[in-house]
Amino acid sequence: MRLLAGATALLAVHAVVNARLLRVPTATSTDARVSVLLPVRDEAARVEPTLRSLLAQEGVDLEVVVLDDGSSDGTADVVRRVADGDPRVRLLTGRALTAGWLGKPHACQQLAEAAAPTSDVLVFVDADVVLAPHAVAATVALLEETELDLLSPYPRQEAPGLTALVQPLLQWSWLTFLPLRLAERSPRGSLSAANGQLLAVRRTAYDRAGGHAAVHDQVVEDVELLRAMKRSGGRGGVCDGTALATTRMYGSWDELVDGYTKSLWTLPLPTVALLALLYVVPPVAGLRGSRAGALAYAAGVAGRIVSARRTGGSVVGSVAHPVSVAAFCLLAGRSRLHRRRGTLAWKGRSL
Question: For 22-69, what is each residue's pLDDT tens digit?
Answer: 999 999 999 999 999 999 999 999 999 999 999 999 999 999 999 999
The identity of residue 23, as a single letter, is R
Q: What angle is formed at CA 347 by the lines to CA 346 and CA 349, rounded to 5 degrees? A: 65
Residues 53, 89: one domain?
yes
Q: Are residues 15 and 81 in the same domain?
A: no
Q: What is the dihedral of CA 234, 223, 344, 65, to 10 degrees?
A: -70
The answer to whether 18 and 178 are in contact (CB under 8 A) is yes
For residue 82, pLDDT beyond 90 = yes
Question: What's residue 135's pLDDT?
Answer: 97
Q: Is the pLDDT of residue 273 over 90?
A: yes
Domain count, the chain: 2
What pLDDT is attached to residue 139? Answer: 98
Do 215 and 337 sit in the same domain of this protein? no
Judgement on whether residues 189 and 96 belong to the same structural domain of the protein:
yes
Q: Which of 194, 219, 247 finishes a domain? A: 247
**CA proximity to 308, closest of 159, 125, 139, 142:** 159
Does residue 234 sit in the same domain as residue 284?
no
* Predicted local distance difference test score (pLDDT) of residue 317: 87
Read off the pLDDT band of 154 (50, 70, 90): very high
Domain that holds residue 261: 2-20+253-350
The sheet that has 129-131: what strands, in order across it? Answer: 89-93, 61-68, 33-40, 121-125, 198-202, 150-157, 236-247, 129-131
Residues 239 and 184 in one domain: yes
Whether residue 81 is found in the same domain as residue 141: yes
Q: Are residues 274 and 168 in the same domain?
A: no
Nearest Cα to Cα of residue 301 among 285, 273, 278:
278
Give the domain CATH number at 243: 3.90.550.10
- Per-residue pLDDT at 312: 86
pLDDT in the model for residue 346: 84
Is pLDDT of 223 > 90?
yes
Confidence of residue 314 (pLDDT cuts 50, 70, 90): confident
Residue 95 above 90 pLDDT?
yes
Q: pLDDT confidence of 351, banded at 50, 70, 90?
A: confident
Q: Structure pTM? A: 0.94
On whether both 59 and 75 belong to a single domain, the answer is yes
Considering the domain architecture, whether residues 220 and 190 belong to the same structural domain is answered as yes
Closest CA to 57 of 201, 312, 245: 245
Q: Which of 221, 247, 273 is the last residue of a domain?
A: 247
Asked whether residue 31 falls in the same domain as residue 147, the answer is: yes
Of 198, 221, 247, the residue that ends a domain is 247
Considering only CA atoms, which of 244, 313, 344 is closest in space to residue 19?
A: 313
Residues 258, 135, single domain; the answer is no
Closest Cα to residue 123, out of 206, 29, 210?
206
